[in-house]
Homo-oligomer: A and B are copies of this chain.
Amino acid sequence: MAKETSGRQLATDKAMRIVDAMRSSVARRGVAGSTFDHVAREAGVSRGLLHYYFGSKERLLVEVARRDAEVRFALMATHLNRANSADELVSHWVRSLHATVKHEPEFVVLLLELYTLAQRTPEIADELATVMQGMTTAFAARMQMLESEGKIVLAAPAEKIADVFLGLGYGMSLRLLADPSRDMTAAIEVAAVAARSLLWDAEGYAPTAASAGDAAE
């Protein structure tokens, strides 16, 4: 942590307030709408301070991506660690999908903004790639642990399955975000069935499509 950007200590209270304000502003107003003026006011600091700490809007956004990764990562870890079987893994995944979109859509919006920005800003693209890689690895590690404990059997390399879970998750969230009026509950159940087909139960009892149903929220 305690990363240096433009040789300035970024772990101070104000610097963190700026990053948080920028994060929520980007989620609410988008990158373009998040002017230094607005963000500074919301962070309760002067405009100049954003430059003092981060030098440019771009580098501030990199910090935002980093910060978001921490939050996102922590959330995922708690969800993952509670799962102890294939069914639980899938149902936790479904639950966290619903919860995220319903209660913390800023995760998805922010990711969208960052992806968009990454198209034209290599620094952001790097950061984002690192974040995604980290999520994949963590997810894969958890699955491998469950496999080594004899609780599940993976139908493919852990990392690839993790890619599919995350990809499916983001794909469905995106769709949910774009059209909140549409009820995607049933579609997510179907997605869970598909995801479930990549995890087999250990101990000989075969996975059935029905067993993944597990009423979500």
Contacts and interface: CB of A to CB of B under 8 A. Distances in A.
A151 to B, nearest CB: 20
Given A109-B119, A119-B112, A171-B172, A190 B178 contact: no
Interface stretch (A66-74, A78-86, A154-162): A154-162
Main secondary structure on A side of the interface with B: helix
Nearest to A124: B178
A184 interface: yes
Given A30-B120, A116-B116, A186-B157, A167 B163 contact: no
A33 to B, nearest CB: 7
A164 interface: yes
Interface residues of A, number: 51
A189 B168 CA distance: 14
A115 to B, nearest CB: 6
Contacts of A169: 171
Contacts of A197: 193-194, 197, 209
A120 B190 contact: no
Nearest to A194: B194
A158 to B, nearest CB: 10
A171 B108 CA distance: 12
Contact of A178 (B29, B132, B179, B186): B132
Interface of A: 29-30, 32-33, 109, 112-113, 115-116, 118-120, 125, 128-129, 132-133, 155-157, 159-161, 163-164, 166-172, 174-175, 177-179, 181-182, 184, 186-187, 189-191, 193-195, 197-198, 209
